[in-house]
Amino acid sequence: MNAPGSTSRPEIAYVLLMVQAVLWMVAGLSALPFVLGGEIHMLGLGLATLLLALFVCLVGIGILWRRRWARRVAIWLEALCVIGSVLLFLLPIGANHGPVAVITNVVLPSALIWLLWGSKTRAVFA
Amino acid sequence: MYSVSASHAIGLIGGLIALPLALVGLRFHPRRRSVPGTVQAAAALMAVTGGVHLALIPHHLDSEPFTSALFLLNGVAFITLAASFTWRWWRLSSSALLLATVLGYLIYVGIGLEGPDQVGIATKLVEVTALGLVLVPVHGEHAAHRGWRHAAIGVAMPLLIVISGATVWIVDLARPDARHVHAGALLQATNTIPTPAQVDAANHLYAETMAAITPYQNWRQAWAAGYRPGGSTSLPSTHWMNQRYVDAGYVMDPHRPQGLVYANTHHGPVLLGAMFQMKSLNRFGPDPGGPMTAWHQHENICFTPFGFEFSLMTPYATCPIGAIDISAPPMLHVWIVDNPHGGPFAVDIDPSVVAALDRT
């Protein structure tokens, strides 16, 4: 039986953040081959994305350890992701609207915000 | 890879139907509170992937009975495990099933029995997430093999996501369908073999365009006419765009092509050809040469304003930070230099041609 007042929301959020970190990592790695073709700015973007992936991973560990800063950072980060993704979906620039784009760019960040939001969840963070 | 296969679309509906059913089932499960939320979330995701697999059976039954049988086994196993999350061996069985399902899909895609599409990739993402939820130990829980489970999350999840993405991407680039070429460019639908009239029309378009853009072999004349480099000049070639012609929306006018393509050689820009571009997405231009002059539209490219550079969107629909996913309106190139690997209207210029120009 679960202890009264206990929640595993931080663990679920941790897993989702790990998934998101790996997706960022893949995005960062995907930019690097283009550097060989002469697109030098892609090197900076790729490395910045890899650093973001590492940061998201650390935030995930912070969430697992119930750190208050990690919860705050994660909520802001995911809110930015959702806003950016919704803008991309609304602008007529031909962005992909497939189910994978919806899952990775909207559902996953929204689920993280939902998991970390609220006073009950906040109470478990030190 | 970036679209939903017609035969798999029903899988999405199956997954979406399974989700609320799973949540209702969880809500009224008598022993729900005896397991942590991670287990309940994993059970819900496994019900979703079970729903996807079961929904795919009817479309595959006639043509692929063996695959249908596997879908049935997989779907039933997922639904059964989703419903029996209090079972003692649940974590082990669920991990094994999820791992086997992801690897099985990759083998199927790798050997060409299945084409990678959005439903497949989305389902694998759900399964890898479910695997993480199955494995993660919960705070305060007396969990066996805690360290091993954390290590498995740190290794198995990244490996599965990277291997799945790489497999799907490689297969998609190596075996594109008939309408996708050149790293995802979507070709205009045309007849297969050009008619004599279409060959004449293509030759006429080529001759007229070549005559019209010959003055631009001197790049200063192109500059004077309003053409400007539309990207980095450190790349082998650069499209020079005329914003006035782009805005005006001239349709395949040889005297007013929206773009010119120059090779960036050590002795300055060398004209490779012209580029006609439509004003809006998904509207292909006139196609006088049939398959010879098919337009193409670049989709799912990651564009960054830093240096006006491009990369390709990953199978997981992500771009590097600082780049956004866009599509470019349909375009048609007319190469005035010899392009042995694709001809005068090919989607791309042969890189060896550009390299040779740089050497001369």
Find, among A68, A5, A77, A74, the residue nearest to B37 by Cα.
Answer: A5
Whose structure tokens read 């989702």?
A16
- Which phi and psi angles does B203 have, rounded to 5°? -65, -40
Q: A22 to chain B, minimum CA–CA distance in Å?
A: 6
Is A85 part of any domain? yes
Question: Is residue A94 one of the residues assigned to a domain?
Answer: yes
Structure confidence at residue B230 (pLDDT): 86
In a domain, A111, yes or no: yes
Per-residue pLDDT tens digits for A72-113: 999 999 999 999 999 999 998 888 899 999 999 999 999 999
A45/B37 touch (CB, cutoff 8 Å), yes or no: no
- The Cα–Cα gap between B200 and B82 comes to 64
Residue A77 falls within a domain, yes or no? Answer: yes
Contact A30 B129 (CB under 8 A): no
Is A1 within the bounds of a domain? no
- Cβ-defined contacts of B176-184 (< 8 Å, 24+): B177/B115, B181/B296, B181/B347, B182/B296, B182/B347, B182/B348, B183/B312, B184/B2, B184/B298, B184/B299, B184/B300, B184/B301, B184/B312
SS3 B15: helix
- What's the alpha-carbon Rg for chain B, to the nearest Å? 26
Nearest partner of A23 among B223, B315, B108, B59, judged by Cα:
B315
φ and ψ at B220, to 5 degrees? -65, -35
Residue numbers of chain B with a pLDDT score lower than 50: none
Backbone angles phi, psi at B4, to 5 degrees: -95, 120
Integer CA distances (angstroms), B195 to B202, B290, B345, in order: 11, 8, 16
User: Burial level of B116, CB count in 10 A (0-12/13-18/19+)?
Assistant: buried
Backbone angles phi, psi at B286, to 5 degrees: -65, 150
Of B36, B304, B315, Cβ closest to residue A2: B36
**pLDDT at position A105:** 95
CB spacing of A98 vs B118 below 8 angstroms: yes
In the structure, what pLDDT confidence band is assigned to residue A1 with cuts at 50, 70 and 90? very low
- β-pair partners for B324: B303
DSSP state of A3: P
- Whether residue B52 contacts residue B123, with contact meaning beta carbons closer than 8 Å, is answered with yes
Question: Are the C-beta atoms of residues B354 and B236 closer than 8 Å to each other?
Answer: yes
**In this model, does residue A2 exceed pLDDT 70?**
no
Structural domain of residue A57, as residue ranges? 9-123
User: Does residue A4 sit within a domain?
Assistant: no
ipTM of this complex: 0.93
Q: Say if the Cβ atoms of B306 and A44 lie within 8 Å.
A: yes
Q: Spell out which residues of chain B touch residue A98, defining contact as CB-CB under 8 Å.
A: 2-4, 118, 317
Total H helices, total E strands in chain B: 10, 11
In chain A, how many domains are there?
Answer: 1
Counting Cα atoms < 13 Å in the Cβ hemisphere of B126 gives: 29
Across the interface, whether the CB atoms of B41 and A12 are under 8 A apart is answered: yes
Residue of A71 and B179 predicted with greater confidence: A71
Q: What pLDDT sits at residue A4?
A: 45
Average pLDDT, chain B: 91
Nearest to A94 among B161, B281, B316 (CB): B281
Pairing of strands B259-265, B227-229: unpaired
Full-prediction pTM beyond 0.80? yes
